Amino acid sequence: MSETTVHPDPVPGDPYAALPARPVDPALFTQESTYRATRLPVELASTLLPDAYTSAEFFALEQDRLFTTGWVAVGITSDVDRPGACIVVEVAGRSIFVTRNRHGELRAFHNLCRHRATKLLDADARDVGRRGRIRCPYHSWTYDTDGTCLGTPLFEGSDIPEGQEAVFDTTVAKGFDRADYGLLEVAVDSWGLFLFVSLDPDPAPLATQLGDLPQRFAEYRLDEWVAQRRRTYDVAANFKLVGENFMEYYHLPWVHPELNQVSKFSDHYRWQGPGMYTGMCTTPVSRNSDAGGWDGLKPLSTLGAQDADSGRFVWLFPGTALVVLPNHAFVLFNRPVAPDRTVETAVLLAHPESLDDPGAEEGVEQLWKFWDLVNRQDLEIVERVQEGLENPAYRGGRMCFRFEEPLHRFQNMVIDKMVGVDRVPGGDEDTMTRMFPDP
C-alpha cells in the first residue's frame, strides 16, 4: 500500500485539507486524528472518511469494535414466545441462537457443539427440537435449553443401535466431565419488541445503551406487538449507508415521490434523548394519498395525544432501524457481510388490538406494499452512493447543517468505537427540534 499522509493543518478555502488522503493507511483507522474533520460541530464537519465504507481492513476492525462490544438487536421477542422456540442469527460473523428454557427465561448460545465445533442449528430453525433438546448432527452430543450437556451420546433418543451402548459410553473417559462442556453462553436481553445479544463477556446493562427509549416508548406496549410480514433484501452497499439514509429526510422529494406526499418536510423533528441511538419524529401523521401511506390499521387506543399523532424513527446503534406509528411498526435488521454488502431483514409488526378488525388483513397488505416500495427506493440510492465511494477521487463531503445532524451523531458514535472511547451520547435540551426551518 502506498504511503499515506494526513494534512496537519487545514488550509483556508480548501475543503479537503483536513481530510485524509486515499487510500488511508489501516494503522490510522484507530487514531483520533484521522477523524478530526468529522469531530467538528455539524455545521463545520465533513463526512466519515470514504474508506470506512470500502476498506476490508476497516470492515474487519468495525465488526470487532462495533458489533462485539455492546448490545445488538437481532430479532423479535414474539419469535421466541414459548420454551424451546428459537431463532438463529449472525453477529460479527458468528452464528448464535436465542431460545427460552423450560422456565420461559431467555437464553442465548454460540451455535456450535463443544465436541468439534459442529454447527448445531440451521439458519431457518424455529424450534430446538424434541423435548427441548439440542442435538449435534455429527456425533450426537446433546444439550438442553440451559446449555447443559446431557449426553455424549449415551442417553435416551440418541439412536444408538441396540446392543452397542457400551461402545458409545464416555463415562470411562479420563479427565472428562460433561458438566464442563455445556454450550458457550452469550448475554441476552430484551426491550419492547426486540431481542438483544452481546458478545462482550461482561457487558454493561442494556438499559445503559437504550438511554431514555423505554420511557419515550412506554405508552406503545411494544412487547405485545407481533410480526405480520418479513422480507430479506441483499444490498450492494455498506450497512452504515443504509443507516445514514434512514436518518435524514433531505432526500425525500427526489427519492420518494410517494412518501413525500404523506411525510412533509415541515413535520419533521429531531427527537433525541441520551442513548446509543438517533431519534427523529414526524408529526402530525399525514393521511394516505393515492400512492399509499401509513393508514391501513386502526391505531392503538391507549396512546396519549402526542403519540397518537406522531411517527417515531429510531436507529438503534449499531445497525437496526425502528419506525413506530400509532397503528404499526416497521423494523430493518441490517447484517454487514462485507464492506460493500449488507443483508437486510424487514419486519412489519402490529399490536393485536390494531389487528382486531375485519379489514386488518387488507390493511396489513397495503402497509407492507408501501414500505416495500419506500425501502426499495432507499436501497437503490444507497447502492449508487456505494459506487461513488469506490472512486478514490472522492475524499469526503460536507455535512449539511441541521438536515444531517443525526448522521453526525451516528458517525461520531462509530468513531468512538473505532478509537476506543466508551461513551453514551447525551440528548437535546429541547424535547423536539424542527429539522427543517419554516420557509
Range(s) of the chain covered by CATH 3.90.380.10 = 212-434
What does the pLDDT look like over 295-354, one tens digit per residue?
A: 889 999 999 999 998 889 999 999 999 999 999 999 999 999 999 999 999 999 999 999
Is the pLDDT at 247 greater than 90? The verdict is: no
Q: What is the mean pLDDT of residues 76-88?
A: 96
pTM above threshold 0.75:
yes
Return the CATH class of domain 212-434: alpha beta
> Which pLDDT score is estimated for 260?
55
Q: Do 316 and 332 contact (CB within 8 A), yes or no?
A: no
User: How many Cβ atoms sit within 10 Å of the Cβ of residue 39?
Assistant: 16
> Which pLDDT score is estimated for 8?
42
* C-alpha–C-alpha distance, residues 395 and 6, integer Å: 12
What does the pLDDT look like over 161-199, one tens digit per residue?
A: 676 666 666 666 777 788 889 999 999 999 999 999 999
**Local structure of residue 120 (DSSP, 8 states):** -
Edge-first strand order for the sheet with 133-135 is 133-135, 142-144, 149-151
- C-alpha 76 chain-centroid distance: 11
Range(s) of the chain covered by CATH 2.102.10.10 = 75-187
| Grid cell in block for residue 55 | 476498506
* C-alpha–C-alpha distance, residues 330 and 367, integer Å: 10
| Grid cell in block for residue 175 | 479427565
Options 2.102.10.10, 3.40.50.1370, 3.30.1300.10, 1.10.260.30; CATH for 75-187 is 2.102.10.10
Percent of the chain with pLDDT over 90: 64
Q: For residue 287, what pLDDT band results from cuts at 50, 70 and 90?
A: confident
> Which pLDDT score is estimated for 3?
41
| Grid cell in block for residue 205 | 446493562
Average pLDDT, the chain: 87
Phi/psi of residue 138, each to 5°?
-90, -65
